[in-house]
């Protein structure tokens, strides 16, 4: 069935008209008119609190966005995902990261088979392995216990694990060292291994496909590094390498025993895989109980998303507000600003989650879109960002909606630090919304020539997500919140948020260029003149060491 073009829907048209009214209004005015706005435009779900009152919206905006959700069939689309329907249409796959955190007794079927049972079987296998590594029962080739765990993976097989390790470092076993190698740039491998003893090092090769160039290159370098230390004794591989993959054949080809392989399934997208066996490094770091708490948190958010009415539904609100800011107020980015240092890799993780999902130019049925899709997500932890790029957010010419993330309790209390941190996050959102007028600046006795420089226009939107404490459960909720917000955006835009064809062309071209860089004799190049010239120049620079 062909869907109606998005821009022809009554709610879309009404939002377009309504945005003209909103654009003329200032948040100062909207707050002055409604004394309870700061309480009214809030929602609480699965233990997370969202204050979205500092968005450039009115009650009418929210009503129309809900209408848009209805006209784009959001509820049914959510239900279809949870039912295991093949909503990733271009790859003909179900999208079931929610099954990764479903309780043991849940039933979710793909092609008639209950996948929850398999999920828990893998979780049990992971837990048993993680416990053996953590307790020292799992020994390296020379009988020494493992002290270093290196995850080799890229994209979703790296960003989730790195982010979760950093976020939950507080809960991790500090006697173990964790490193993450992703880049095909040899520096990544060399720096990660230079001070480690191979006899105490375990490599987790994480790759859904087990064919990714970067990961396989690093995996082969890891094997060579290990075998150098053990005089080529290939038996060492079994004690120092495990794999996480959907591709058992390729894992065996690499020489990793199937017993040391942790599987997952094609219905788990790479960027949605941190709750699968891809999280093995996380589980070794924080232990199986904390890992299960992470899953429980995500599941709580899944249930909230599946059941809460739209006006109280955090992922739906966050997603719809992103649509509003992107399509009706012309914002091109979203800054994600965690005021929690442990979340320092969260923006990097979100970049793949959001942009690989919603960076699409055609609808699910292949029609070019005539509206903006996925905005650019980026960010840094506060307060560091304040002394870097916030100037542009406050006084630049672009509209940059911000998501501030903060916690009531620090994991590592230290004097006044936490109150100072939280004072900053609240102050930033306040300054962005209300700014500072010419009159206010003049009243401070500022010389006339400086007045324009010191004026803050305000009216710059932000959300604040407030939670109690960064626990494994809270992290699970936060990740699921953004996963589902991405879903909501993709559902409205009618795009396939679960494929990633855009990364293919570069991969193919690189494979073509590799032999042209490595061949001894000068290759006959057939690229454009720029690429040809760069290849010739690189070859000649390479010769002159």
Task: Find the shortest distance in angstroms from Cβ 208 to ligand F6P.
Answer: 4
Tokens coding 535: 């290849």
Specify the DSSP element, H or E, that contains 181.
strand 177-181
* Catalytic entry in 200, 214, 300, 356: 356
Which of 159, 151, 404 lies closest to 272, judged by CA?
159
Applying the rule CB under 6 A, the residues between 256 and 315 that interact with ligand F6P are: 270-271
Ramachandran sector of residue 415 (left: φ over 0; alpha: ψ -120 to 50; beta: rest): left
Contact between 351 and ligand F6P (CB under 6 A)? Answer: no
Which residue of 19, 201, 215, 325 would you call a contact of ligand F6P, by CB under 6 A? 215
Q: Is 507 a catalytic residue?
A: yes
Distance CA 62, CA 66 (A): 6
Cross-strand partners of 334: 377
Cross-strand partners of 177: 148
* CA 124-126-132 angle, 5° bins: 105
Contact between 500 and ligand F6P (CB under 6 A)? Answer: yes
Which residue of 212, 281, 333, 463 would you call a contact of ligand F6P, by CB under 6 A? 212
Task: Find the shortest distance in angstroms from Cβ 269 to ligand F6P.
Answer: 7
Contact between 522 and ligand F6P (CB under 6 A)? Answer: no
Distance CA 126, CA 122 (A): 6
Distance CA 64, CA 434 (A): 25
Q: Which is nearer to ligand F6P, 97 or 304 (CB)?
A: 97
Number of Cβ within 10 Å of residue 204's Cβ equals 25
**Which among 121-129, 148-156, 194-202, 392-400 is the span making contact with ligand F6P, rule CB under 6 A?**
148-156
Q: Is 290 a catalytic residue?
A: no
Distance CA 252, CA 266 (A): 18
Q: Which is nearer to ligand F6P, 60 or 185 (CB)?
A: 185
Contact between 157 and ligand F6P (CB under 6 A)? Answer: yes
Task: Find the shortest distance in angstroms from Cβ 397 to ligand F6P.
Answer: 33
Q: Which is nearer to ligand F6P, 156 or 338 (CB)?
A: 156
* Catalytic entry in 507, 518, 533, 542: 507
Determine the size of the site formed for ligand F6P (CB under 6 A): 14
Quote the DSSP letter at residue 460: -
Q: Which residue is nearest to ligand F6P (CB)?
A: 270
Task: Find the shortest distance in angstroms from Cβ 207 to ligand F6P.
Answer: 3
Contact between 213 and ligand F6P (CB under 6 A)? Answer: no
Contact between 208 and ligand F6P (CB under 6 A)? Answer: yes
* CA 280-243-248 angle, 5° bins: 125
Distance CA 31, CA 431 (A): 14
Q: Which is nearer to ligand F6P, 209 or 424 (CB)?
A: 209
Q: Is 240 a catalytic residue?
A: no
Distance CA 517, CA 534 (A): 10
Helices 74-83 & 288-307 angle (0-180, nearest 10):
140
Task: Find the shortest distance in angstroms from Cβ 411 to ligand F6P.
Answer: 29
Which residue of 84, 156, 198, 410 would you call a contact of ligand F6P, by CB under 6 A? 156
Contact between 154 and ligand F6P (CB under 6 A)? Answer: yes
CB 299 within 8 A of CB 102: yes
CB half-sphere exposure, 160, CA atoms < 13 A = 30
Contact between 155 and ligand F6P (CB under 6 A)? Answer: yes
Q: Which is nearer to ligand F6P, 193 or 276 (CB)?
A: 276
Task: Find the shortest distance in angstroms from Cβ 271 to ligand F6P.
Answer: 5
* Catalytic entry in 235, 387, 524, 526: 387
Distance CA 224, CA 228 (A): 6
Q: For strand 376-378 and strand 177-181, is the pairing parallel, antiparallel, or unpaired?
A: unpaired
Q: Which positions lie near ligand F6P, rule CB under 6 A?
A: 154-157, 207-209, 212, 215, 270-271, 356, 500, 503
- By annotation, the residues acting in catalysis are 356, 387, 507
């Amino acid at each position: 069935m062909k869907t109606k073009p998005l821009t022809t829907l009554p709610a879309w048209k009404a939002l377009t008209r309504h945005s003209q009214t909103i654009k003329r209004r200032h948040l100062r005015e909207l707050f002055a008119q409604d004394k309870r706005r700061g309480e009214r435009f809030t929602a609480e779900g699965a233990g997370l609190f969202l204050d979205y009152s500092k968005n450039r919206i009115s009650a009418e905006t929210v009503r129309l966005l809900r209408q848009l959700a209805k006209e784009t069939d959001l509820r049914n689309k959510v239900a279809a995902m949870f039912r295991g329907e093949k909503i990733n249409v271009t790859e003909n796959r179900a999208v079931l990261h929610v099954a990764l955190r479903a309780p043991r007794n849940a039933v979710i079927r793909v092609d008639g088979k209950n996948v929850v049972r398999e999920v828990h079987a893998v979780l049990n296998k992971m837990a048993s392995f993680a416990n053996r590594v953590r307790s020292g029962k799992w020994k390296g080739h020379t009988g020494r216990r493992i002290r270093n765990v290196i995850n080799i993976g890229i994209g979703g097989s790296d960003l989730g694990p790195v982010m979760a390790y950093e976020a939950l470092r507080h809960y991790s076993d500090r006697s173990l060292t964790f490193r993450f190698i992703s880049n095909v740039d040899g520096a990544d491998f060399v720096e990660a291994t230079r001070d480690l003893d191979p006899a105490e090092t375990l490599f987790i090769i994480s790759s859904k496909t087990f064919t990714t160039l970067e990961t396989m290159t690093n995996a082969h370098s890891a094997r060579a590094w290990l075998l150098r230390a053990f005089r080529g004794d290939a038996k060492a591989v079994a004690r120092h390498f495990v794999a996480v993959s959907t591709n058992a054949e390729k894992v065996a080809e690499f020489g990793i025993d199937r017993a040391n392989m942790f599987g997952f399934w094609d219905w788990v997208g790479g960027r949605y895989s941190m709750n699968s066996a891809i999280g093995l490094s996380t589980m070794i770091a924080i232990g199986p109980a904390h890992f299960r708490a992470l899953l429980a948190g995500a599941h709580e958010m899944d249930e909230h998303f599946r059941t809460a009415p739209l006006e109280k539904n955090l992922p739906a609100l966050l997603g719809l507000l992103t649509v509003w800011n992107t399509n009706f107020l012309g914002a091109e980015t979203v800054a994600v600003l965690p005021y929690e240092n442990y979340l320092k890799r969260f923006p990097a993780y979100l970049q793949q989650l959001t942009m690989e999902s919603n960076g699409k130019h055609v609808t699910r049925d292949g029609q070019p879109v005539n509206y903006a899709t996925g905005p650019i997500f980026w960010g840094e932890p506060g307060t560091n960002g304040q002394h870097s790029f916030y100037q542009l957010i406050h006084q630049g010419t672009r509209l940059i909606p911000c998501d501030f993330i903060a916690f009531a309790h620090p994991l590592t209390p230290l004097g006044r630090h936490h109150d100072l941190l939280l004072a900053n996050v609240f102050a930033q959102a306040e300054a962005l919304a209300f700014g500072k007028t010419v009159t206010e600046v003049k009243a401070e006795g500022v010389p006339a020539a400086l007045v324009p420089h010191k004026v803050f226009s305000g009216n710059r939107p932000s959300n604040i997500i407030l939670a109690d404490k960064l626990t494994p459960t809270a992290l699970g909720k936060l990740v699921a919140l953004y996963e589902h917000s991405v879903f909501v955006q993709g559902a409205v835009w009618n795009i396939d948020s679960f494929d990633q064809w855009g990364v293919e062309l570069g991969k193919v071209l690189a494979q073509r260029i590799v032999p042209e860089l490595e061949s001894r004799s000068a290759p006959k190049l057939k690229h454009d003149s720029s690429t040809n010239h760069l290849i010739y120049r690189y070859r000649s620079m390479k010769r002159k060491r």
